[in-house]
């Protein structure tokens, strides 16, 4: 049993103000794997005060020096990669090989891309030759609150804490209480890399406690949140009283448009992408729209792929999916599966209940519904589990209408070998990100959506500039600055 009963505040590990134990449950065994403390208002206040005290000096630190210190986090990561991946695997159920290959490496991937993008930041920018002496200066916004989820835990920490620190902000992180161990290791990386005291702080807690306290704290200038749309709306309302900047990365219900001319691997690629991380990805392609001429063949292929995907313990090596994060998530997914059956979806793979070989662990069968109609619950609502809906379409226009008929707008997918169609759809689909023919976003691109998926832009130059303020200046002498 791991015990983590301290918070990282002001460059040191300190005990909580009030003893409030919280058991972290291993979703593979349904047993506690760690005990942490949940913070109280005094802990949040202490962390914000430490960040506020550290801000002036950190903001004045030359950008190259900040970048060098942040780069040092990667040295610590490499030393403790195995431990880091094992913590993620244990606390949120990612199979260990997946944690090593995909989950943990999010930290070096994003950090490296941010460091490259950071080199392009112009801190004082001329407005143009038409306005001599007019400039726009970029400055760090101040103390920022970071609230991260459990499904891709270090991915979201890297997308928030790294650019915030590079920008010159100081931060207080509240990771998910479902998966806090990786965040505490990240705090150790920051400490051992020499990040100055107070620049990065961590207080464990729940949304109603530390999360709400950060959102309403008068000394916190911005909140960056990843989680449900419901929680994102509540945070926006709570932050409005203090006029904080709010960056939200929320849910999704991605449409995946598969045309008759798609390549031979399109169906298998799409199903495996959906089931990755046990379907617990906000950008999962959970609605597969298939051109009618290949629809029945696609259903057959998709079912075969889903049935071939193994489910197993997170600690076991191999290519399988693990459990979902907790009992409440498992029950929610089961409810959606039953709803899909009740509303007339044709179950072609998976279904309700635990896989036959398990009597414990929060395992969900990779599940596919065919003949799903627009408007069905499983077509409209984010399930956040390994459940995919298949829908036939007759024309590009119909596919586009179905794809865009959602409150969400995070990631949509297109499978076609017609380049003109791919380009056309990439501009007409209403989402923050469009991925075509299995190609992932480029290094240095951003992650973010539109509509009820939030409008954060996490990654690359955009991700750094979310933590910067702009200041208009007249009469700036660039010749002096150049010297």
pLDDT tens-place string over residues 356-372:
999 999 999 999 999 99
Buried/exposed 135-174: b ≥16 CB within 10 Å, e otherwise: beebebbbbbbbbbbbbbbbbbbbbbbbbbbbbbbbbbbb
User: What does the pLDDT read at residue 65?
Assistant: 98
Q: Which of 91, 221, 282, 435 is catalytic?
A: 282
pLDDT tens readout for residues 107-119: 999 999 999 999 9
249 is catalytic: yes
Query: Do 243 and 450 touch, CB atoms closer than 8 A?
Result: no
- Does the predicted TM-score (pTM) go above 0.85? yes
282 is catalytic: yes
Biggest CA–CA distance in the chain, Å, is: 74
Which two tokens mark 441? 């976003």
| Torsion angle of C-alpha atoms 259, 262, 268, 269, degrees rounded to 10 | -100
pLDDT tens readout for residues 1-37: 899 999 999 999 999 999 999 999 999 999 999 999 9
Q: Which of 102, 177, 249, 382 is catalytic?
A: 249
Q: What is the mean pLDDT of the chain?
A: 97
Query: Do 385 and 329 touch, CB atoms closer than 8 A?
Result: yes
User: Rounded to an integer, what distance in angstroms lies between the CA atom of residue 456 and that of residue 226?
Assistant: 9
Q: What is the mean pLDDT of residues 282-298?
A: 98
């Amino acid at each position: 049993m791991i015990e983590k009963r301290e918070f990282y505040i002001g460059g040191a590990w300190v005990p909580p103000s009030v003893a409030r134990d919280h058991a972290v449950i291993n979703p593979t065994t349904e047993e506690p794997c760690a005990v942490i403390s949940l913070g109280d208002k005094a802990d949040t206040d202490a962390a914000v005060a430490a960040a506020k005290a550290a801000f002036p000096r950190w903001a004045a630190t030359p950008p190259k020096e900040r970048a060098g210190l942040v780069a040092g986090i990667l040295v610590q990561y490499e030393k403790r990669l195995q431990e880091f991946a094992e913590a993620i695997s244990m606390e949120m159920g990612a199979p260990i090989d997946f944690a090593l290959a995909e989950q943990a490496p999010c930290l070096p991937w994003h950090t490296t891309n941010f460091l490259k993008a950071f080199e392009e930041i112009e801190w004082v920018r001329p407005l143009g030759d038409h306005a001599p002496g007019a400039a726009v200066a970029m400055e760090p916004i101040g103390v920022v609150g970071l609230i991260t989820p459990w499904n891709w835990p270090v991915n979201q920490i890297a997308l928030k804490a790294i650019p915030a620190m590079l920008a010159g902000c100081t931060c207080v992180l509240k990771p998910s209480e479902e998966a806090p161990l990786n965040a505490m290791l990240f705090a150790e990386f920051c400490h051992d890399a020499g990040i100055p005291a107070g620049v990065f702080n961590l207080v464990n807690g729940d949304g109603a406690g530390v999360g709400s306290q950060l959102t309403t704290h008068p000394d916190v200038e911005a909140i960056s949140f990843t989680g449900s749309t419901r929680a994102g709306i509540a945070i926006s309302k709570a932050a409005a009283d203090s006029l904080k900047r709010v960056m939200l990365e929320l849910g999704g219900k991605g449409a995946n448009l598969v045309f008759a001319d798609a390549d031979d691997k399109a169906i298998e690629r799409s199903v495996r992408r959906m089931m990755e991380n046990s379907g617990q990805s906000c950008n999962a392609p959970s609605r597969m729209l298939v051109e009618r001429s290949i629809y029945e063949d696609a259903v057959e292929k998709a079912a075969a792929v889903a049935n071939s995907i193994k489910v197993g313990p997170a600690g076991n090596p191999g290519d399988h999916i693990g459990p979902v994060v907790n009992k409440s998530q498992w029950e929610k997914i089961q409810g959606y599966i039953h709803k899909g059956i009740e509303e007339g979806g044709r179950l072609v793979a998976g279904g309700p209940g635990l896989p036959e070989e398990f009597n414990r662990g929060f395992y969900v069968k990779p599940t596919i519904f065919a003949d799903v109609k627009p408007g069905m619950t499983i077509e409209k609502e984010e399930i956040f589990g390994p459940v995919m809906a298949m829908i036939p379409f007759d024309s590009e226009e119909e596919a586009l209408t179905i794809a865009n008929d959602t409150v969400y707008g995070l990631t949509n997918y297109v499978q076609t070998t017609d380049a003109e169609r791919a380009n056309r759809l990439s501009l007409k689909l209403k989402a923050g990100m469009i991925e075509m023919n299995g190609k992932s976003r480029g290094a240095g691109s951003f992650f973010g959506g539109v509509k009820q998926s939030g409008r954060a832009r996490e990654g690359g130059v955009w991700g750094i500039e979310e933590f910067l303020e702009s200041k208009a200046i007249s009469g700036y002498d660039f010749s002096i600055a150049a010297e």
